[in-house]
Amino acid sequence: MSAVAGTAAAVQELDEDQRAALDTCVVAALALSSSEGEAQGQMRLLMECHGRYVRSFGVVEQAPSYEVFTRRLRGSRVADLLPGRPQGSVLGKLWLLDDDGMPSLALHRLAVEASEHGHQAPGIGADIRHLHSLLRAVGMLPVSSGLSRISGETVQHAVFRALRGAGFEAYTRGREAMVRTPVLTRRALSRNTALVELGAYTGISPTRQFGGLWAACPMCRWTMRATYRPNGVVDVECEDERHSLLGSRYWAEPAAVEGWRLAPCGELRTVPELLPVEGYVALPYALWLWVTLPGLLEVELRDRLVALGAEVRLWPFGDAYDLHVTRPGRSRAWRVDVKTWADPYGLAQKLREDPEGPGELCFVVPEHLRGYLPLLRRVVRGSGARVLTDADLVAEVEGA
């Protein structure tokens, strides 16, 4: 499991003062790295952050001055910014801003998973406020409640419950659309009643556009983040750590004749089309993180198995699991629960909380997590469940 993917669990291990300090660091880093808003407003927000930061240190440990605080946000590991400097945490492997003040891939994730005040921050704050409006609209967040951290499980439950209200067919179609098309034209969105009523899509964030344009990651098709460099070049990169490492990284620069020109700076040579912001809507960051990304392997597996002649139902029986797979003329069936993370302790907790147990459920993880199989199989030993990679499952269904 990558350090970025482990942020939610790491935050839960912090004490109250450390979580408060992390909150202020995240919002301050977002303010420092954003070109949005006027200088006076940015300074006011930074001063508020520093005040909360100082209070989080209490009287036992001396908090850094404002100048030191803002300087340390650049290039310092997250754990080193917190009171007590927690040891052994994945936060010791992450930073918020690089030495040039550019945001890390962890920054937006921490804003939604670890920040009580992320809604105040430039850029991602609009996404967080939109998410809270959506949760209030579907009855999952009281109108009078304040803005605070919300878990991925809460968001998934709210969104999926709202979609199920339109019937199973509309639910499946709407959820699959959020996986396959996290960015839509406004006209295409208007044709999906369930998604229109849900209100999940919104305008493309300023942090993911440049010159009135945006570009989709070739792997997840969501808007890539655009970060302006001092020399006028724009870094364009998928917010997903693995997609970025696999090559969803580009740079864009103004071209005299063509407007903007996009070029790859990773191994992936596919260059996405630059599209106008006008006329498009996108899922906010949290829905891409908690709905689109986990669903990619589920939908891809369905397509691969159907191509083999299998019959596959997505999210059957009220979303009891992810895939129900059968082969025509054969009695065997596979009940598949796809896990795109490799946290054996989280999986063990899931099994303990299920009063009926997993039965003959197949837990499927991506092929690149094959090294976790021995550990995960020890966790489910004796439960009747199995753990496979997606490649194992496809081979098993094909050979049945």
Cα angle for residues 363, 366, 372 (degrees, 5° grid): 75
Residues 10 and 108 in one domain: yes
- Of 102, 122, 142, the position where a domain reaches its end is 122
Average pLDDT over residues 133-149: 67
Segment (H or E) for 346: helix 344-353
Q: Would you state the pLDDT for residue 3?
A: 63
- Of 276, 298, 330, the position where a domain reaches its end is 276
Residues 223 and 257 in one domain: yes
Is a pLDDT exceeding 90 seen at residue 350? no
Is residue 156 situated within a structural domain? no
Is residue 166 situated within a structural domain? no
Average pLDDT over residues 49-55: 95
Residues 106 and 218 in one domain: no
Residues 118 and 3 in one domain: yes
Is residue 130 situated within a structural domain? no
β-pairing verdict for 362-365 and 333-338 = parallel
Average pLDDT over residues 374-394: 89
Residues 270 and 303 in one domain: no
Distance CA 13, CA 246 (A): 30
Identify the weakest region by mean pLDDT among 29-43, 171-185, 303-317. 29-43
Average pLDDT over residues 116-139: 83
3-class secondary structure, 254: strand
Residues 379 and 307 in one domain: yes
Residues 42 and 83 in one domain: yes
Task: Report residue 177's pLDDT band, with 50, 70 and 90 as the boundaries.
Answer: very high
Q: How far is CA 265 from CA 2, 125, 234, 247, 370, in A?
A: 22, 29, 12, 7, 28
Residues 8 and 117 in one domain: yes
Residues 267 and 330 in one domain: no
Q: Would you state the pLDDT for residue 254?
A: 84
Residues 293 and 267 in one domain: no
Is a pLDDT exceeding 60 seen at residue 147? no
Contacts for 214 with CB less than 8 Å, ≥ 6 apart: 183, 204, 208, 223, 224, 226, 274, 275, 277, 280
Helices and strands in the chain, H and E counts? 17, 14
Q: Provide the H-helix boundaries in 58-185.
A: 66-72, 105-113, 124-137, 152-164, 168-180
Q: Would you state the pLDDT for residue 237?
A: 94
What are 17-38's pLDDT values in tens digits? 999 999 999 999 999 988 766 6
Which structural domain range is residue 6 located in?
A: 1-122
Other Cβ atoms within 10 Å of 330 Cβ, number: 10
Is a pLDDT exceeding 60 seen at residue 144? no
β-pairing verdict for 362-365 and 386-389 = parallel
What are 210-266's pLDDT values in tens digits? 989 999 999 999 999 998 888 888 999 999 989 998 999 999 988 766 788 899 987
Q: How many domains does the chain have?
A: 3
Distance CA 326, CA 334 (A): 7
Residues 262 and 309 in one domain: no
3-class secondary structure, 228: strand
* Closest C-alpha among 133, 178, 400, 152 to residue 295: 178
C-alpha torsion 137→319→341→153, nearest 10: 30
Distance CA 265, CA 284 (A): 26
Is residue 251 situated within a structural domain? yes
Average pLDDT over residues 282-291: 94
Answer whether 0.95 is exceeded by the pTM.
Answer: no
What are 53-66's pLDDT values in tens digits? 999 998 778 889 99
The answer to whether the beta carbons of residues 390 and 301 sit under 8 Å apart is yes
Residues 261 and 376 in one domain: no
Average pLDDT over residues 288-308: 95
Segment (H or E) for 282: strand 280-282
Is residue 72 situated within a structural domain? yes
Most confident listed range (178-182, 231-235, 371-375): 178-182
Is residue 113 situated within a structural domain? yes
Is a pLDDT exceeding 70 seen at residue 140? no
The answer to whether the beta carbons of residues 82 and 26 sit under 8 Å apart is no
Is residue 268 situated within a structural domain? yes
Q: Would you state the pLDDT for residue 155?
A: 85
Average pLDDT over residues 331-344: 82
Distance CA 365, CA 387 (A): 8
Task: Report residue 158's pLDDT band, with 50, 70 and 90 as the boundaries.
Answer: confident
Cα angle for residues 67, 68, 73 (degrees, 5° grid): 105
Q: Would you state the pLDDT for residue 37?
A: 63
Count CA within 13 A, CB hemisphere, residue 373: 16
Q: Would you state the pLDDT for residue 358?
A: 54
Is residue 141 situated within a structural domain? no
- Of 73, 89, 122, the position where a domain reaches its end is 122
